[in-house]
Structure 1
Amino acid sequence: MKKIIRFFGLASCLFLIPFVGFSQLNTSATIDSLRKELKIAKDDITRVDVLSELCYILPKVDSLASFKTGFEALELSRKIKYKKGEAAALFSLGGAFMDYFDLDKADQYYDRGFPIINAIVQKDSSKANLKIWLRGYYGKAINYSYRSNPTKEIEWTDKVIPIAQKINDLDFLTNVHTNLGILKMNVGQNNDAYTSLKKSEQINNKLKAPKRIIFTNLTIAGLLHNMDSIIQMKPYLDAAKKYLDKDLNSIDWQLYYTNEAQYFSGLNQYEKAIASLDKAKVIILDKQLNQEYFLLMQRYASVCQKHGDYPAAIKYMTEFIKTATDKKIPLDRFKGYYKRSQYEAAQENYKNAYNDYVLAIDIYDSLETENHLKNIKELELKYDSAEKEKEILALTVKNEQKKSQTYLLLGLASVLGLLLFTGYYIYNQRLRKARKKEHLHESEINLLKQEQQNKIFSAMIEGQEKERKRLAIDLHDGLGGRLSGISLNLSKLDKDEPKEYPKQQLQKVMKDLGDALTELRAIARNMMPETLVKFGLEAALKDYCSSMTGNETKVMLQFYGNEKGMNINQQVTIYRVIQELINNAIKHANASEVLVQYIREGNKVDITVEDNGIGFNLETTEEFQNGMGISNLKTRVAYLKGCLDFHSEENEGTTVNINIIIDAA
C-alpha cells in the first residue's frame, strides 16, 4: 500500500498544475505567416521547412491539419533525400502525437529522428541544425513529463540547456526555464521552481514577447497558489490580464481562468472559482485542447473537494476517468479511481469507495506487470547484443568446431536462464494475484462479519430496552396500582380508627407500603428513566448522580456539550454504561467519590468515570476478565462502535475512558 501511495503522490503532482509545452505560445499570426510562405515557396526544401514548422505549431489549434502538414513534409523530404527536413518533420510529428496524447507514437517518431539529426550535427553544428536537435531532444523530455517520469525529464532537459545557451537561443531558453519551473512545481521543489520561472521572466522582458509574459505570469501565479501565497497571486494575474485584454481570442485565456479559479478558491469564494473554470471549459472545448481538458476535470474536482462539495467532485472525477478510458491512458485511470475513492469515502459511500480502490489497485498491478515485461525485453535485447559481440570476437578463433560448441553452450545457458527467469516471474505474478484475491475475500468476509455483529448488538440492545420498558410499565401500572390501592384503604381505616385495630400497627404498615412504593418507583426509573425520555441524556444523568449521592458517597457530574444528533437508543445505551460504572464504583470499589465527565466536541464524545475506590489488578482479577458486568459494558460500547479503556491499580482507584464517534454509531 505504501508503494501505491508513493507512486500516486508523484503522479498526482500533475493533477492540479497545467503543464504546457512551449509550442503553445505560438500565435495565430505566425501560422498565417507560414501559410503565406508555403504558397510562395519556390523549391521543395523550402516547402519541407515550412511544412515542418507548421506541423510543430498547429497541434494546439488544429490537430488534423498538424498531422496532414507533418506527413506531407516527411514524404517530400524523403523523396528529395533532404535529411535535415526529414529529422525536423519526424520531431514535429512526435510533438503532434504527444499533444494528441499518443505517447508511444510520439516516442517512435522522436527515436527515428535522433540518429538522423545526430549524424547531421556531427558534420555541421550550425545554429540552424542545433535548433532542430534541441527541438527533438526537448520534445522527448516533455514526453517524459506526460508519462509522469520527472527523473527522465530532468535528465533530458539537462542535455538541452547547455546547447541552447551555446547558441544563445533566448526564445528556446525561456521555454526551457518555464517548463523546468513547472517540473519543479510538480515534484514539490517550489523554491527551485520560482528561481527557474524568474529566469524565464527576465528573458521574456528582454524579448518583449507578450505571449510569453502572459504565460510566465500565470505560471508564477499557480506556483504562489501551491506555496499558499494566495494574496501574492493577484499582481501576476493582473499583469497577465493586461496583455490578454489586447487579444480577446487568445488561447491563453483558458490558462488565465484556471489560475483565477485557484485564486478564488484560495479566498474561499467557491462560486466564483467554479464560474472561472466554466469559462476555461468553453475555450478548451472550442479549441479541442485534449490535455487541458484532462487537467480541467481534475481542477474542478479539486476545487469542489476543498469546499466540501463531494458529489460535484465525484461527478468531475467520473468524467476524468471516462476520458482517460476513451484515450486508453491507464495511469490517469489509476489516478482517477484512486481519487474518486477518497471522495466516496468522504461521503460515507464506503461500498463505492471500496470498489474504486480495488479498480485502482488492479490498474496499478497491470502497470507493474508492463514494467516487468519491459525489463524482460531489455534482458533479451542485452542478450542479443552480447551474442553479436561474441560473434565479432569469434572471427579471430581458428577452430570453428570449438567456436560453435562455445556459442551453443552459451546460447543454451542464456536461454535456460531466461526461461528460468520468465518462469519465476510468471509464478510470482500468479502468487501475487492469488494473495490479492485471498486478501479481498478476507476483507469481504470481515466486512460481512462486522455488519452481522452490529445487527446482533443492535437487536440485543433494543430488545433489552423494550423489555425493560415493558417491565417498568407493568410494575408501575400493575403492582404499583395495587399497592397504591392498599395504601388508600389502610389510610381510610386509619381515619376511621376502629377499636379492633391498633393504630400504631396500622401506621407501621402504611410506612412499609410507602417505602415499597418509593422502591417500586426507583426500580421503574432505573429500567426506563422517564427523565431521559422527556428531557434528554444530560437531565437523566444529573438525576441519577443526585440519587446516588448520600452521606457516604458523593457522585459528581461534569457535562460539556449536548446529545444533539443521538437517537434514543444511543442515549439510553450511554446512560446504561455510565449507570453500570457508577454502580461498580460504589458497590465493588467502595468509593466515596465518583467523578463523571461527559465531553462532546463536534461528533466526538469522550466519557470518563473516575473513582477513589480500592482499585484492582487488570491482569489478575478474575472478575474483570470473566465478569458479566464487564462483558455487558463491552457489548454496549461495541454497539456504539466506541473504544473502552480501563486504568486501575490496587488502592489507587479506577479510571474508565470511553471514546465514541456519533456518526459511526
Structure 2
Amino acid sequence: MRSLVFVFILLLSLTISAQTGREARIDSLENALKSAGQDTTRVNILSELARSYGGVDSLKAFEKGFAAIALAKRINYLRGMADANINLAGCYLDYFDVDNAKKYFTIGNKFADKLVAKDSSSRNMKIWLRGKYNIGVAYGYEGNVEKEIERIAETIPYAQEMGDKMFVANANTSLGIKYSNLMLYKRAYEMFLISQKQYEEVGTPEDMLYHSLSFSSALSSMDSLKRMKSVLDIAKVNLDLIPNSFYEGPYQMELGLYHAKIGEYNKALVALDKAYTYYKEQSSSFYIKLIYQRYAEAYSGMGNFKKAKEYTLKYINFSDDEHSFNDKLGSYYSLAKFDAKLTNYKSAYNYLKDYVAALDSARVGELGNEMQQLEIQYKTATKEKEILALKNEKSEAALALQVKKSQNYLLGAVASLLALLLFIGFYAYNAKLRRARKKEREQEKEVSLLKQKQENEVFSAMIEGQEKERKRLAIDLHDGLGGRLSGISMNLSKLDKDEPKEYPKTQLKKVMKDLDDSLTELRSIARNMMPETLVKFGLQAALKDYCSSMTGNDTKVTLQFYGSEKGINLNQQVTMYRVIQELINNAIKHAHASEVLVQYMRDGNKVDITVEDNGVGFDKQEIESEKAGMGLSNLQTRVAYLKGDLEFNSEENEGTTVNVQINIDAA
C-alpha cells in the first residue's frame, strides 16, 4: 500500500517539476519553430512541443500533437508519424484518458515498427522503445499490472543492446515498484539493487533521489529498516546537491516514517514538521493527507492518544474524500483504541461499531482484490518460468549447433591440412615468392602508417601550438596593453572631473572616446583569439556569448544547443568553436544573411553541427574551385582534425546549410 502511495506522490512531484523545469525548453522549441525552414524539422519540433506541454497546458499539447501528425502525414514522413502519434498518446495519458492513449500508442507503435525495420539506428530505436514502454504504463493505469510488467520487461533487452543505460535503470526501478505493489518483495528487492548500480554509473543526483525514495518505500513495506536507513542516507547525500528540490517533502515524510518504525518518535515528529512546512500552502494536497496519517502513528507510539486521535480525524475527514476500505477500517479501529485509552468509552464503542460495519462491507471486495492479486502473482511467476524455460531451450539448441559447427570446422581443418601436404611440393617455390611479396607489402604499409601517424602528430601539435600561442597573446593583450589603456582612461577621467582650465574639455572627451574604443577593440580581439568563456564555462556558454555578440540591428544569430560538451577535451571544443565561428562569419560577411541558425546536437559519441542562413547562397561548383579561398581551406583543415565530415547545401538566392558530423571517439 505504501509503495502505491509513494508512486502517486512521485507522479505529483514530477508534474510540479514539469510546470517549472519545462518552461525554458518550451520557449526554446517555440523559437526554433518560428525559424524552421524544412517541413521535417517542423514536424520534429511540433512533436517535441506536444510532449513538453503534456501535463502543463492540455490545449497546446493536443494542438501541437495533432498539427505534427497532420504535417507528417502530408509529407509522408514515417519517423514523424511514429514520434507524433506516440507523443500525442502521452498527452492523453497525462490527463488519464487511457482509451485514447492506447489508441494513439497503437498507431504510433505500428509506424515505429515500420521505421526500425527500415532503419534501426539509435535515434529511431528510442522512439520505438518509448512507445512500447508507455503503452505498458497505460495498461497499468487500467489496473492490468501483469501486462504492464510484460511490456516494460520486453523493452529492457533492446535498451541494453543499444547501450541506453538510463532507460534500463528507469525500467528496472519501475519493475521494482510494480513487484513491490504485488508484494513480490524478493523480486522487487533484486530489481532495486540492479537499478541502484546502474543509476550510480549514469544517473544524476535527481535520478538517484527518485530511485532511493522508491526503494525506501518498498523497504518500509518489507520492514527491512536497516537497509531502509542506508538507502535514505544515499537520498540525503543527493538531496544536498539540489537546492530547493521538490523531493525535499517526500524525503522528510520517508524519514519520519523510518524514525517512527524504530521508535524514535521525537525525530519522526521533527521530520514530519519539516514535510508539513514544505506543503502547508497546498491545503488540499494529497501530501498533507499522508502527513496527517503519519503524525497519528508517531503520536500513538509516544502514548499521546489525544494528538493521535486529532490527526486521525484530520486524515479520515480530509477534503479529497478518497479513502479505501483499508483506510477506513484502520482509522475507525484506531479511533476506538485512542478513545478507550482516553476513557471515552461511549465514543470508543461508536467507532468500534463503525469499524465492524466497514469490515462487513469490505470483506467481499477485499476477497476479490486478494484473489485478483494472487492471480497476477501466479501469472507473473508463470511468465518468468516460461521465459527461463525458453532461455534454457535456446541455450541447449545453441550448444548443439555449436558442437556441430565445431565438428565441421575440425573436418574442414583436417581436409585443408591434407590438401596442403599434398600440394606443398608443387607450390613451395610460389609460396616462398608470395611470402616475400607479402612481407614487402606489409613493410610498405607499415611505413605508410608511420608516415601518416607522424603527419597527424605534427598537425595536432601545430594546431595545439597555434591555440597556445593565441591564448598567450590574448592574455598579454588583455593584461598588459589593456591595463595600461585602462589606467590612461582613469587618469583622463580624473582630469575631466577636475576641469582644469588649461585643457579644452571637448578634446579631452574625444581622447577618452578614442581610448574607450581602443579598449573595446582590444577586448574583442582577445575574445576572438582565445574565448575566455569557453575555457571557464565550456563550449555551450562560449557559443551563446559569441552568437549574442554577432547579433545586431541587421543580423540575428540563434543558437540551439542540445546535449552537452561533457567528455570532449578542450582542444576539440576549441576547434568546434573555430569551425562554428568561421561558418557564422561567412554567412554574415559573404552571404549577407540577416538570420543565422546554429544547431549543436549530441547523441552519445556523435556530434552534429548545422549552420543555416537565409543569405544569397552560391554555386556548389565554386566549393571545388580555387575561388573558395583560404577561409574554406582552414575550415576543411579543422574538420579534418576532428575526423569529421563537412557538407554544403546551397542554391543561389536560397540560402546555405552547412552540416558537420563528428565522432568524438575518432576525434
In which range does the TM-score fall when normalised by the shorter chain?
0.3 to 0.5
TM (norm. structure 2) is: 0.44
TM (norm. structure 1) is: 0.44
